[in-house]
């Protein structure tokens, strides 16, 4: 018997604010990065577009897949999702079957978001009928729409419904490479943190010799090309940037080779960690090393606005 795949709905961040051509390029770059990360982690991963939704599926272990998803720049968050027939009865049935507290007294609320062309159901009507069937299926439930113990979230299209469960936060930012190339010498923890921040803003690192191999291995978990300068130089940087154009540097790099190529304007010297406290850098370092456990802080704390949203 073939095991059923697991599904995730991918949520994009700031790239949704871009123009259509730029967003299309950024999204394509992000999806390719995600597939490269999955290949490096030796897990199967399939990405498909269903209407406006981006769906990832895999037969691999859930934790392993989410470890990969949490290393993909440009991806804001993902929701674990269960595909359901687009009927209130089936959604209610699956919602009760997957509730670990079935039979206990608890509150619930149903929220439906429609996508694509309007079908038989409107969002409010569908939510109401799902709630009706859930109450029939478990008499210990009671309704609380403002702060339920069990929030039931549904995405509905004409052909398919998706029952959402756990949300997983991802790094956000922009996909690797869409903002060109940066020359780097990763020789200290602070430079490694700064390089990661630039990678999150869409830059690809071209690493010089004599960088710290242990620190490079950490960054390679986010972009495997960081250990291959030739591959980085020949990767497409994105709209408006020439192939192989190095425009900035981080760390104590030797820029003489870059200037020999006929570049007249000195490259920018970047220091993303300027002004950061030791506490903030330690927290960021822990997150980079293990993003699924050392999560980004919320925006309302004092850690530099969640490391600059």
Domain of 137 in residue numbering reads as 86-159
**pLDDT value of residue 242:** 47
Q: How many domains does the chain have?
A: 3
**How many helices and strands, by DSSP H and E, does the chain display?**
10, 12
Q: Is the pLDDT of residue 142 over 80?
A: yes
Tell me, yes or no, whether 216 lies in a domain: yes
pTM for the whole structure: 0.87
Which one, of 177, 196, 175, lies nearest residue 186 by Cα? 196
pLDDT digit string, tens, across residues 218-235: 999 999 888 765 566 555
Does residue 148 sit in the same domain as residue 194? Answer: no
- Domain identity same for 199 and 263: yes
pLDDT tens digit sequence for 107-116: 999 999 998 8
In a domain? residue 280: no
* The pair of three-digit structure tokens given for residue 219, joined into one six-digit string: 């960054």
219 and 267 fall within a common domain: yes
Tell me the β-bridge partners of 77.
11, 169
How is residue 207 annotated by DSSP? E
Residue 97 in domain: yes
168 domain-assigned: no
Given this model, what pLDDT does residue 240 score? Answer: 44
- 242-260 confidence digits (pLDDT tens): 456 889 999 998 877 676 6
Residue 307 within any structural domain of the chain: no
Q: Are residues 90 and 69 in the same domain?
A: no
> Is 174 among the domain residues?
no
pLDDT digits (tens, 9 = 90+) for 84-137: 999 999 999 999 999 999 999 999 999 999 988 777 889 999 999 999 999 999
> How high does pLDDT run on average in the chain?
88
| Structural domain ending residue among the three candidates 36, 51, 83 | 83
Quote the CA–CA distance of 289 and 134 in Å, as a whole number.
42
pLDDT, mean of residues 195-222:
94
CATH of the domain at 143: 3.30.2300.10
Can you give the three-state secondary structure of 98-159, one letter per residue?
Answer: CCCCCCCCEEEEEEEEECCCCCCCCHHHHHHHHHHHHHHHCCCEEECCCCCCEEEEEEECCC
- Give kind and range of the element (H or E) at residue 74: none
According to the model, what pLDDT value does residue 224 have?
Answer: 83
99 with 137, same domain? Answer: yes
Position 279 in a domain: no
pLDDT at 261: 59
pLDDT > 70 in the chain, percent: 87
Last residue of a domain, one of 83, 104, 139: 83
């Amino acid at each position: 018997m073939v095991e059923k795949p697991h599904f995730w709905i991918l949520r994009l961040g700031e790239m949704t604010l871009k123009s259509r051509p730029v967003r299309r390029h950024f999204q394509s770059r992000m999806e390719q990065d995600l597939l490269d990360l999955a290949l490096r982690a030796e897990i199967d991963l399939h990405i498909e577009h269903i209407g406006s939704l981006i769906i990832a599926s895999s037969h691999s272990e859930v934790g392993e897949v989410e470890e990969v998803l949490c290393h993909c720049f440009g991806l804001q968050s993902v929701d674990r999702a269960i595909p359901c027939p687009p009927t209130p009865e089936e959604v209610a049935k699956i919602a009760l079957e997957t509730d670990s507290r079935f039979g206990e007294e608890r509150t619930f609320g149903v929220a439906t978001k429609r996508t694509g062309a309007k079908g038989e159901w409107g969002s409010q009507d569908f939510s109401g009928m799902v709630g009706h069937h859930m109450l029939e299926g478990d008499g210990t439930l009671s309704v609380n729409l403002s702060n339920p113990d069990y929030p039931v979230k549904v995405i509905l299209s004409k052909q398919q419904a998706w029952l959402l469960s756990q949300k997983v936060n991802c790094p956000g930012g922009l996909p690797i490479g869409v903002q060109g190339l940066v020359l780097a010498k990763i020789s200290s923890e602070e430079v490694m943190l700064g390089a990661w921040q630039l990678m999150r803003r869409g830059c690809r690192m071209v690493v010089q010799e004599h960088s710290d191999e242990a620190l490079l291995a950490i960054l390679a978990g986010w972009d495997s090309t960081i250990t291959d300068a030739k591959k980085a130089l020949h990767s497409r940087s994105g709209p408006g940037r020439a192939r192989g154009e190095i425009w900035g540097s981080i760390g104590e790099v030797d820029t003489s080779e870059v200037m020999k190529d006929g570049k007249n304007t000195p490259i920018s010297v970047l220091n993303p960690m300027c002004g950061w406290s030791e506490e903030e850098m330690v927290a960021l370092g822990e997150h980079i090393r293990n993003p699924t456990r050392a999560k980004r802080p919320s925006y309302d704390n004092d850690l530099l606005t969640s490391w600059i949203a």
